Amino acid sequence: MYKIIAGIIVFICGALNAADQFTSNDRQELLRLIDSQATQYGDVSRKIWEFAEVGYKEIKSSELLKSELRNAGFEIQEGVAEIPTAFVASWGSGKPVIGILGEFDALPGLSQEDVPEKKPRVAGEAGHGCGHNLFGVASLQAVVAVKQTLARKNWKGTIRFYGTPAEEGGSGKVYLVRAGLFQDCDVVISWHPGDENYANKESSLANISAKFRFYGEAAHAAASPEKGRSALDAVMVMTHAVDLWREHVPSTTRIHYIVTNGGSAPNIVPDFSEVFIYVRHPEMQTVDVIWDRIKKCAEAGALATETRMEMEIIHSTFNMLQNDVLAEVVNKNLQIVGGVTYTAEEKAFAEKLRTTMDLNGTPPLGSEANIQPIRGDISSGSTDVGDVSWNVPVADLVTATWVPGTPAHSWQSTACSGYSIGRKGMIVAAKTMALTAMDLFADQKLVEQAKLNFKQHRGNREYRSRIPADKKPPLNYRDKN
């Protein structure tokens, strides 16, 4: 009986919202509202760019976003999913519940000034080479604009901002999913910085990563090497086995690693060594098979060198689940918003920056002003948004925050993310997400169609995170050994 009554309430609320349509004038007013706040939120994105805090360490970035949301009238749950920098901010009541994701972690080693030549702000420190300073703030601006529009129109529904740390290899959203924070959400909207504008229904690569630690016996490398058991040798045997095995994996597999600890001095047989390794593939079930072989390579390294091996899973994310219905809504709104127009100064910046890059096969300068067709293939990256998309319908888009041709995770993308070019693309994202959210609030049938499409794409496939259920968020995974 309760479910029947709840369903009637949802239907009535949707009908009431639909009765007062989200008109063309409403759209233009929403776009003007976002434009009027561009300087304010541009300053916020610049501050987070300067903070440049890595995964699970985004204390100042998280606090700044929460402060802006509190000032806008949102209620905030802090420290969710046992993550100090994670939070959920909500406004409104009832259905539908529309969430917008916000990321804000930087990448190690990508510190860079906002200039078109390589010039670190602080050599060796972190930088926003994936544009998450823009990501979080565009989402912030979108939810605030939606809240103001809902209040003006006196519509029912809940708008929610998910503050999600450590996307870059920390799987922050996986822990939010595990904590049940998306269970009552009807649709989630996400976006990502890039060098073109398009509605995105691409899948991504599922992955698993871990740190393999080897423990041996120290000894004088010249006087008594026979008494030592080299942990570094174990790493080298393991990685050599992995490298030999690369030719026997499916062609869409990606395996990459770094040695994070190779010992303390050449004249000491290393008693400890560590390698950090990733495996990726479009399907999680295939990742599982490959990962079992990776573990055997590690066991072989320990066996061959008479050392002891321990493995710590650091993160794992699912591939993105597509949603055709939401991609069409995003594409419609992106066409309304339009692309990015450079000033003469910004064009000069872009032209100089492009001289530092390999432009083979990249979009031309000027493409930032265009809207590309919906993308629906498989991207070469991985994201913990994938885990969200296996639990709730997700709308996604990319906007041109970077000069065309700019690779992600580069000093060039860090420069763009702190420059006015990045902030212009951020506004395109904020407008598109806000319009998309309002379409969903206005039409309950659209929400139901998105849910049906979600069920069709997922089918009877299981979602089960490969991160052990008892594992706590790896809050120190970015610490240097």
Tell me the CATH number at 312: 3.30.70.360
Q: Which pLDDT score, from 0 to 100, does residue 228 have?
A: 97
**Do 83 and 104 belong to one domain?**
yes
Distances from the Cα of 82 to the Cα of 58, 86, 106, 471, angstroms? 14, 8, 20, 11
- Contact criterion met (CB below 8 Å) for 460 and 311: no
CB neighbour class for 455 (10 Å; exposed up to 12, middle 13-18, buried from 19) = exposed
Domain count, the chain: 2
Q: Which pLDDT score, from 0 to 100, does residue 479 have?
A: 87
Peptide bond into 96 cis (omega under 30): yes
Angle of helix 420-442 versus helix 24-36 axis, rounded to 10: 150
**Do 216 and 75 belong to one domain?**
no
**Do 176 and 122 belong to one domain?**
yes
**Do 99 and 132 belong to one domain?**
yes
As given in the structure block, the two tokens for residue 12 are 């009535």
**Do 310 and 390 belong to one domain?**
no
Q: Which pLDDT score, from 0 to 100, does residue 16 have?
A: 47
Q: 257, 286, 317 — which closes off a domain?
A: 317
Q: Is residue 127 part of a domain?
A: yes
Reduce the secondary structure of 277-311 to three states and give it as a string: EEEEECCHHHHHHHHHHHHHHHHHHHHHHCCEEEE
Q: Is residue 468 part of a domain?
A: no
Q: Is residue 399 part of a domain?
A: yes
CA angle at 279 for the pair 61 and 201, rounded to the nearest 5°: 65
Q: Is residue 3 part of a domain?
A: no
Q: Is residue 122 part of a domain?
A: yes
Q: Is residue 243 part of a domain?
A: yes
314-336 residue pLDDT tens: 999 999 999 999 999 999 999 99
**Do 334 and 444 belong to one domain?**
yes
Domain containing residue 50: CATH number: 3.40.630.10
Q: Is residue 245 part of a domain?
A: yes
Q: Which pLDDT score, from 0 to 100, does residue 349 have?
A: 98
**Rg value, the chain, Cα:** 24
**Do 34 and 174 belong to one domain?**
yes
**Do 68 and 53 belong to one domain?**
yes
Q: Is the dihedral of CA 353, 355, 361, 364 positive or negative?
A: positive
Q: What is the pLDDT along the chain (481 residues), one digit of tens a residue?
A: 434 444 444 444 444 455 468 999 999 999 999 999 999 999 999 999 999 999 999 999 999 999 999 999 999 999 999 999 999 999 999 999 999 999 999 999 999 999 999 999 999 999 999 999 999 999 999 999 999 999 999 999 999 999 999 999 899 999 999 999 999 999 999 999 999 999 999 999 999 999 999 999 999 999 999 999 999 999 999 999 999 999 999 999 999 999 999 999 999 999 999 999 999 999 999 999 999 999 999 999 999 999 999 999 999 999 999 999 999 999 999 999 999 999 999 999 999 999 999 999 999 999 999 999 999 989 888 999 999 999 999 999 999 999 999 999 999 999 999 999 999 999 999 999 999 999 999 999 999 999 999 999 999 999 999 999 999 999 999 987 5
**Do 313 and 324 belong to one domain?**
no
Q: 266, 293, 317 — which closes off a domain?
A: 317
Q: Which residues span the domain enclosing 133?
A: 12-204+319-458
CA angle at 184 for the pair 179 and 190, rounded to the nearest 5°: 80
Q: 283, 299, 317 — which closes off a domain?
A: 317
**Do 145 and 263 belong to one domain?**
no
**Do 179 and 226 belong to one domain?**
no
Q: Which pLDDT score, from 0 to 100, does residue 421 have?
A: 98
**Do 335 and 247 belong to one domain?**
no
Q: Which residues is 88 bridged to in the sheet?
A: 77, 162
Q: Is residue 106 part of a domain?
A: yes
- Contact criterion met (CB below 8 Å) for 91 and 179: no
